[in-house]
Chain A
Amino acid sequence: MPEDKKVQEHPAIWFQASGCSGCVVSVLNGAAPTVANLIVDQLAPGHHVNLRFQPTVMAASGEVALKVLAAAEKAEEGYLLVVEGALPTAAGGLFGRAGAAGGGETTMHQRVLDLAKKAQAVVALGTCAAYGGMSGAQPNPSGCVGVSQALAEAGIEVPVINVPGCPPHPDWFTGTVAHALLFGLPSPEEVDAAGRPKRFFGKLIHDLCPRRGDFEAHKFAKAPGEPGCLYELGCKGPWTHADCPERQFNTGVNWCIKAGSPCQGCVEPFFPDVSCPIYRKLDLDELPRVIKDDSGRLAPSARPVGGRAKSLLQEG
């Protein structure tokens, strides 16, 4: 048995609200580190993420699970709160009910507020948790909001790191957690205006895209399966910030544009509404929708158009 002199336990609570579980399923796809590295092993020497509550994988159900949650909440050392899914606020939160001790009931919204108050930090995992995402898409029947907005409205001050994506790449999550473990929370310079780590979301898809040469040469695919840049098939790469072209998905096997499908802009605030119609070519008229949205939700990040893209867009 190895000498575990002083393994520091880092408790974590992973709460699922209004979403599809796609985020946790994507995190299960992690290759380096794997999810077993994340949960069972020491993520880094001397550091173990102690995942106390995670409904998709945990053994306990019902009252037994809720007791785990209650105990974790009371632990003196605090915890990292991971939220997956948006928070339904319409109808007093009734669109998202959650079990409470003794067979009672609360709402997902209230549960996250309660958990956030005692958390050391919150990771809003996936676009729903970060900004409302698919669950909060118009006409937003359940009044879903992202975690930052819900906490701000409740006056709860706790650091929130947004790790968006629909789904998020597993590395974006494990990399963010590893950073917090080893170096502490990211500094203000290390996150963008949309609360995302620049390490993963600092560049435009368009600027990293392997089809950029086709874009410059005005070689455009007109239908799926054709070679060329996907700009005319509605690609949102020109205003989407993520390192997908470098990192690729599923252990580097493929990613959207490589598979001939336009970038959907799934890591951006206001996804999917700003991205729809997905197969419609971007034009200058719709760019201000991204930049100047006045709905009061979290402001989108830096200027969404790279220099070269902008010049071409202005041409045509």
Chain B
Amino acid sequence: MAETRTITIDPITRIEGHLKVEVVVEAGVVKEARCSALLFRGFENILLNRDPRDAALLVQRVCGVCPVGHAAASALCLDNAFGVDAEVPHNGRVMRNLILGSNYLQSHILHFYHLAALDFVDVAAAAEYEGADEALCGVRDFIARGELSPFVPRYEGDYRLSKEANQAATAHYVKALEARRTAHELGAIFGGKLPHEVGIVVGGVTEVPTSDKIAAFLSKLAGLRKFIADVYLPDVLAVAQAYPDYFEIGAGCRRWLSYGGFDLETAEADLLKRKRLFPAGRVEAELSLAPVDPGKIAEYVRHSWFEDATSGLAPGAGETKPAPEKESGYSWIKAPRYDGQPHEVGPLARTLVAYAAGDAAVKKQVDGLLAQFGAQAGALFSVLGRHAARALETARVAEAMERWVMELKPGEPVCDWRPVPDSGSGMGLTEAPRGALGHWAEIEGGRLSRYQLVVPTTWNASPHDDEGIPGPIEQALIGTKVKDSENPFEVVRIVRSFDPCLACSVHMLTPRGREVGRWRVL
């Protein structure tokens, strides 16, 4: 009988938040996988009874890596509830896109270099550096002092880049720290500060566009576009060339979903029909486009620490009752399903949906990439496919931002500021850097009576659903060959390719009045 072994990785570092992954390996192949979210904050309950306008600021504290996506979704949701969806001024719409776009650049650069790269790049190669690059000399001297934290220890045995390529990538790791800082500066021009910007409010934006801000924005953006074109994209290709087998690993559930994002108009009230930079849609492996119907989304809890009676509800339709002693539970995340099926969200989903929708810019990028590697579209359903989609998308967003900033009209309105309505309800659907993001709100007596979020990592890192179907990351792990169970590179590379954000995904309600103190340690 083949040897069976369970590998527990807790913490999964270099992601946002607290994630545990358990895989059962039999004869060197992953047979079962479980993703467990370990932190519960009860964010939706914290928002209850507050002034609805506060939500766009407070929800950003769900995630410090992608706060702007939450501000954007919350503002769309509140615009809807306040009845100002179509009234957001031109400048307000454009600045929202610029702030969110800046955060995309920051988040994607951070993800590749500072979260994912250490799985592919051997920083220790800088020890033998003989050149004059200041950053590399710094790293070399650092290594020479004999203290290698936080870059060593690590999993060992599968670093494949040449010494020179490792050194170049290490220099870029340091350079990328500057690039992502610049991306935050870019976002702060119209968003006030980052993380947790302050510009986006219901009805528009608080900052006013002026020619000096536009010029500063263009200057910083030009530097970032150069970094993306000359450093980020080539580095992703270099990793792909050295690790080509990762085009074949980590496909996942082969169903992708995008709500669409970056409004190009505000006249259309239905967000899924709005003209947007990223189109809305769903695709499966044959890449034919299907529409998104939010009514088909439900969340299941059989394997989450919530009471079974609350399973299968639509977002915003019911309260969630924690049950931490539940035998079948293993995560604080619910399992959202579209039409009963798990869906992957994120840059790869957006890219595939746009490709299927016939987006010319995306087709050009993707076909170029596939031609370079002599690969078919199926190669995109992989660890490297996710990294490539994220990098290509970064270039497209930056290019669009350069057009958008020129559309700003100094001296014209930025916000349609209205009193809080006594009652109302709203839905805000957009795309955060990590994928499809939905906020739902209800207002009663001028206060929030309900606030619900279904966020990207809830989709991607979801546990098994009531039918026993594993979530997208779990499916991506199952079937993977693990060469060395002491150094399970394959597992962490697959998990990180999704760019999980755990603070985002655990956001469930705690019903008021429940006595929580009686729970005991399991």
Contacts and interface: CB of A to CB of B under 8 A. Distances in A.
Interface of A: 1-2, 4, 7, 9, 16, 18-26, 28-31, 34-36, 39-41, 48, 50-68, 88, 90-99, 103, 105, 107-108, 133-135, 137-144, 166-167, 223-225, 249-251, 253-256, 258-261, 264, 266, 272, 276-280
Nearest to B208: A225
Contacts of A95: 39-42
Interface string B150-175: 11111100000000000000000010
A137 B46 contact: yes
Given A28-B180, A225-B415, A259-B207, A254 B61 contact: no
B193 A250 contact: yes
Nearest to B58: A272
B8 A279 contact: no
Interface string B122-154: 010000000000010011111011010111111
Contacts of B123: 59
A50 B146 CA distance: 11
12 contacts: A19-B64, A19-B503, A35-B177, A52-B150, A56-B16, A57-B114, A91-B517, A141-B42, A167-B195, A255-B193, A259-B193, A261-B207
Contacts of B181: 28-31, 34, 250-251
A21 B185 CA distance: 18
Interface of B: 6, 8-14, 16-18, 20, 38-42, 45-46, 50-51, 53-54, 57-58, 61-65, 67, 110, 114-115, 118, 123, 135, 138-142, 144-145, 147, 149-155, 174, 177-178, 180-181, 184-185, 187-196, 198-199, 201, 203-208, 216, 324, 413-415, 417, 492, 503, 510, 512, 516-517, 519-522
Contacts of B63: 20-22
Contact of B147 (A18, A48, A223): A48
A310 B522 CA distance: 53
A259 B192 contact: yes
Contact of B192 (A57, A225, A254): A254
Contacts of B67: 20, 22
Nearest to B147: A50
A68 B153 contact: yes
Given A21-B16, A253-B188, 17 more contacts: A9-B145, A20-B67, A56-B13, A59-B154, A60-B150, A60-B154, A63-B8, A88-B39, A92-B521, A94-B519, A133-B61, A141-B41, A142-B42, A225-B413, A225-B415, A254-B191, A260-B207
Q: List the 4 shortest-distance A-B pairs measured between CB atoms, nearest first.
A: A22-B64, A141-B42, A259-B192, A99-B10
Contact of B414 (A31, A224, A264): A224
Contact of B11 (A2, A55, A96): A55
A62 B155 CA distance: 10
Contacts of A272: 54, 58, 61
Contacts of B17: 21
Given A21-B64, A59-B152, A98-B18, A224 B201 contact: yes
Task: Give the dominant DSSP class at A's interface.
Answer: loop
A141 B510 contact: yes
Contacts of A96: 18, 38-40
B115 to A, nearest CB: 8
Contacts of B154: 59-60, 64
Contact of A264 (B57, B188, B189, B517): B57
Contacts of B203: 224
A278 B54 contact: yes
B149 A253 contact: no
B151 A256 contact: no
A81 to B, nearest CB: 15
Contact of A61 (B13, B196, B516): B13
Contact of A92 (B8, B187, B520): B520
Contacts of B174: 36, 40
Contacts of A134: 46, 58, 61
A97 B517 contact: no
B65 A225 contact: no
B61 A20 contact: yes
Contacts of A54: 150
A264 B198 contact: yes
